[in-house]
Amino acid sequence: MLKGVASVSVKDLDAGFADQLKANKMEVDQFLNKVALYLKNEAQKTSAFVDRTGNLRKSIRKKKSKFEDGGYIVAASGKNTTKSQKEAGEHSKGWHAHLIEFGHVKILWGKPTGERVPPSPFMRPACQKAGKYAATLIKG
């Protein structure tokens, strides 16, 4: 073995990374919060689709992840029910965000027509913009 060269095990490296992550957890969480908020706003302000009722735009939400390592989730359901609607037992029609994003078969009077409604992606372009935004934040 060479003089002055120490050996470091993978276990030591993992422990060091874990310590650094714990020390910087608040900064990482703030960074992820900024990126998730940017993603949510980009998806809501898109003109990729026509939202007559406003339910799809209102349903795009950012929430804190329940996973052990934290993070944030930005999701669009298309279903938007206010607290007063929930209390009154009302339910809004919804769960159609994936149909807007990826397109679908047109249905008329409960039967498929054979035609397709083209996709109007709004989350995927917002994710790409959020990735670029994150890169600019990292670069400083």
pLDDT digits (tens, 9 = 90+) for 80-123: 666 666 665 655 556 778 888 999 999 899 899 999 999 999 99
Cβ–Cβ < 8 Å for 53, 85: no
State the DSSP H helix or E strand holding residue 107, giving kind and residue range, or none if neither: strand 104-108
State how beta strands 72-75 and 61-64 pair.
antiparallel
Q: What is the pLDDT of residue 87?
A: 62
Q: What is the pLDDT of residue 111?
A: 92
Q: What is the pLDDT of residue 33?
A: 93
For all residues of the chain together, what is the average pLDDT? Answer: 82
Higher model confidence: residue 11 or residue 70? 70
**Residue 45: which residues within 8 A CB-CB, separation 6 or more?**
none
DSSP code, position 59: H
Burial (Cβ within 10 Å: 0-12, 13-18, ≥19) of residue 20 = exposed
Can you tell me the distance from the alpha carbon of 62 to that of 68, in angstroms, rounded to the nearest whole number? 17
**Residue 137: which residues within 8 A CB-CB, separation 6 or more?**
31, 34, 35
pTM: 0.72
Cβ–Cβ < 8 Å for 76, 60: yes
Can you tell me the distance from the alpha carbon of 116 to that of 112, in angstroms, rounded to the nearest whole number? 9
Can you tell me the distance from the alpha carbon of 135 to that of 12, in angstroms, rounded to the nearest whole number? 29
Angle between helices 10-23 and 25-44 (to 10 degrees): 60
